[in-house]
Chains A and B, each alone.
Chain A
């Protein structure tokens, strides 16, 4: 097995990177242990002076890293912020292609894991003791980091189960009840906008493929199913997706929701001025909102997403990161231990939740009253964490991501997203999206079913 994967990995890199030839000769693939590494080997490695490079964009993560360095004084971790989101992944890919400059440990969001496992760039952490952490993490997060053959590609760090933040004061002014179903939501959207043309019930950002996927996840869609590395079933336009598309496309065409790009200064201004009465967002949303829309403090509340079927409440996930180890690292044991420690140690996990306000994936914190029962003033004293912890329990267990996420997300924006801003047929746009990603997948050598 290892020989096969090493050969195909190098073949892929061959003509594109000259250093591929060098690697084939030198063969310094010190990663990939498939036999469990013995405790004595681990102990020895943790006492050997080593420097690890860790690419992450979590602010002030040095505090958690310091706890690791205190426990293992021989290991020094160099924290590098190589960008946030797409630029970070682009740099990582380029460094992997060139065969040099890649870090040892890297922050990877759940949705990007297949994009990096398809090029065999992540280290399987099973051999390094990661399997024993399984029960500490919420089931669906563990599913997200597991591979088709039981590999453990990363350790979950934080999550983003989706819920709804709403302006209690706007609802009160216009007599709107908290929508429990999507039908109620649509009706509320129409009522609100008719009463005041300057206000919308919500903004569905036309560029936000992640939110779209979260909603598809909630609806039970399974758009990407990989049975093996080279086989993939693409179904972004199945019936479930069409239902979601018809819903949102309809609301956009009626003009009762906003469709502007999110996280721009115009959007921030809109939130501050009360243009949008709700924000369908993830568990990291509440703290983010309290920092970005200070002028609306105290007026927001949290609730679950409206449901398609109130008998079976469900939700999806938007964002959330993990720590993964790069396969070509020269310090696989130290790196694997670091990734595991950082995200499962009770103290660091608690710090992530309380200092950086990352929403935890660990069962311990999600049941810890100190965390869930914390009242947030921005939300009128509501226990927002509990709200999202409960939502987290309803996230559908299995949802796979495609091994070429950047392409899929860009194609989404240019087809489905564009149909929302142009107020054209979103269901037809869904078909366009499907054909674009199918063409790409075939062009890249996948067998598409």
Chain B
């Protein structure tokens, strides 16, 4: 049964799309301007002398190439955290879903309840504890806390309940397979779409994380891109000797460059979003 396309609805949706893309359009346009032009030209149109490539060059070259270092840091932190978090969530989700042991209800609810705790409550105590063991100002200070993803655990548990039939597990047990073998050999493959979802979720959260790395890291060479950009913005916006309004054009161009990796990742991995999230959305 063919559904007739509705033009009015399309127009409304396109208008909504325009709203969502408007700030990004501004960002692209602003990235083509020199700092002086940022201050003197109309925001939503180009200047007479667009210099996008020059800006990109300056951004990447500034301060000994620290921008690319920041991008690299973000990639490392995000990927390591995402893979680690997904694996941990998968094993624990599988464990909670397929086994019944004492305290499993309490354990699970405790973790889910953890989502409700404001991050500011944990930031300083975590910092102090990490300082004890000398982890402050290292990549682990950012990666370790990101490995715990309560939402990921929830999704993996739901997914494990659905995607891995008990009958399959029982059959494997009867065949004499060990639990580890069942998990790694059979279950993990079935859990793959959910895993990808958790990877993506953690990827985004860690990539966009600002507050935690801000507290944990002192050395600019370890900053992820969020903290790095914010530090440039602070330099442009703080009065006193050393303030530098030139930084604004770097901040704008840097912001544009920083969004590209994630947007590309979204484009490439679109279909995984749906299948993974749908599991969590439909069941309870």
Q: Contact residues of A with B, CB < 8 Å?
A: 16-19, 55, 57-59, 80-87, 91, 94-95, 97-101, 109, 158, 160, 208, 210, 262-265, 268-269, 271-273, 282, 284, 288, 291-295, 318-321, 356-359
Q: Which residue of B lies closest to A357 (CB)?
A: B241
Interchain nearest-CB distance for A265 vs B (Å): 6
- Cβ-defined contact, B243 with A82, below 8 A: no
- Cβ-defined contact, A81 with B243, below 8 A: no
From B129, B214, B231, B240, A160 is in contact (CB under 8 Å) with: B240
Contacts of B241 in A (CB 8 A): 58, 158, 160, 284, 288, 319-321, 356-359
* Bound-complex Cα distance A412 to B138 (A): 36
* Bound-complex Cα distance A271 to B239 (A): 14
Contacts of B237 in A (CB 8 A): 263-264
Contacts of B124 in A (CB 8 A): 94
Q: How many residues of B contact A (CB 8 A)?
A: 33
From A55, A57, A81, A100, B131 is in contact (CB under 8 Å) with: A100
Contacts of B239 in A (CB 8 A): 208, 210, 262-263, 318-319
From A83, A100, A268, B245 is in contact (CB under 8 Å) with: A268
- Cβ-defined contact, B234 with A87, below 8 A: yes
* Bound-complex Cα distance A84 to B220 (A): 12
The 5 closest A-B pairs by CB, nearest first: A98-B131, A292-B245, A284-B241, A269-B39, A319-B240
Interface hits, B117-168 → A, CB 8 Å? 124, 127-129, 131-132, 134, 136-137
- Cβ-defined contact, A84 with B40, below 8 A: no
- Cβ-defined contact, A80 with B219, below 8 A: yes
Interface centre among B241, B244, B248 (most CB of A within 10 A): B241
Residue B109 is within 8 A (CB to CB) of chain A in the complex: no
Contacts of A318 in B (CB 8 A): 239-240
Interface centre among A81, A109, A269 (most CB of B within 10 A): A81
Interchain nearest-CB distance for B63 vs A (Å): 8
- Cβ-defined contact, A80 with B40, below 8 A: no
* Bound-complex Cα distance A80 to B242 (A): 15
Residue B262 is within 8 A (CB to CB) of chain A in the complex: no
Interface centre among A57, A356, A359 (most CB of B within 10 A): A57
Interchain nearest-CB distance for B49 vs A (Å): 14
Residue B27 is within 8 A (CB to CB) of chain A in the complex: no
Interface hits, B216-271 → A, CB 8 Å? 218-220, 231, 234-246, 248
Whether A80 contacts B220 in the complex (CB less than 8 A), given A94-B127, A272-B39, comes out as yes
- Cβ-defined contact, B36 with A272, below 8 A: yes
Interface membership of chain B positions 96-132, coded 1 if the CB is closer than 8 angstroms to chain A and 0 otherwise: 0000000000000000000000000000100111011
* Bound-complex Cα distance A160 to B132 (A): 40
* Bound-complex Cα distance A101 to B216 (A): 10
Interface hits, B22-75 → A, CB 8 Å? 36, 38-40
- Cβ-defined contact, A265 with B242, below 8 A: no
* Bound-complex Cα distance A99 to B128 (A): 9
* Bound-complex Cα distance A263 to B238 (A): 6
- Cβ-defined contact, B128 with A57, below 8 A: no
- Cβ-defined contact, B128 with A18, below 8 A: yes
Interchain nearest-CB distance for A296 vs B (Å): 10
- Cβ-defined contact, A109 with B240, below 8 A: yes
Q: Which residue of A lies closest to B128 (CB)?
A: A98
* Bound-complex Cα distance A206 to B25 (A): 32
- Cβ-defined contact, A265 with B39, below 8 A: yes
Residue B215 is within 8 A (CB to CB) of chain A in the complex: yes
Interchain nearest-CB distance for B229 vs A (Å): 13
* Bound-complex Cα distance A83 to B246 (A): 17
Q: Which residue of A lies closest to B30 (CB)?
A: A265
Jot down 24 A-B pairs with beta carbons below 8 A, ordered by A. Answer: A19-B131, A58-B241, A58-B242, A81-B220, A81-B231, A83-B234, A84-B240, A84-B242, A85-B234, A85-B238, A94-B127, A95-B218, A98-B132, A98-B136, A101-B218, A158-B241, A210-B239, A263-B236, A263-B237, A263-B243, A269-B39, A273-B39, A284-B240, A356-B242
* Bound-complex Cα distance A394 to B202 (A): 58
Q: Which residue of B lies closest to A99 (CB)?
A: B131
* Bound-complex Cα distance A284 to B132 (A): 41
- Cβ-defined contact, B40 with A288, below 8 A: no
Interchain nearest-CB distance for A409 vs B (Å): 12
Interchain nearest-CB distance for B33 vs A (Å): 11
Query: Contacts A17-B128, A58-B242 given; 11 further ones with Cβ under 8 A?
Result: A18-B128, A81-B231, A82-B218, A82-B219, A82-B220, A84-B235, A85-B238, A98-B132, A210-B239, A263-B238, A288-B241
- Cβ-defined contact, B235 with A18, below 8 A: no
* Bound-complex Cα distance A273 to B238 (A): 21
* Bound-complex Cα distance A58 to B40 (A): 28
Whether A83 contacts B231 in the complex (CB less than 8 A), given A272-B40, A295-B40, comes out as yes
* Bound-complex Cα distance A263 to B38 (A): 14
Interchain nearest-CB distance for A263 vs B (Å): 5
- Cβ-defined contact, A101 with B131, below 8 A: yes
Interchain nearest-CB distance for B235 vs A (Å): 5
* Bound-complex Cα distance A317 to B236 (A): 21
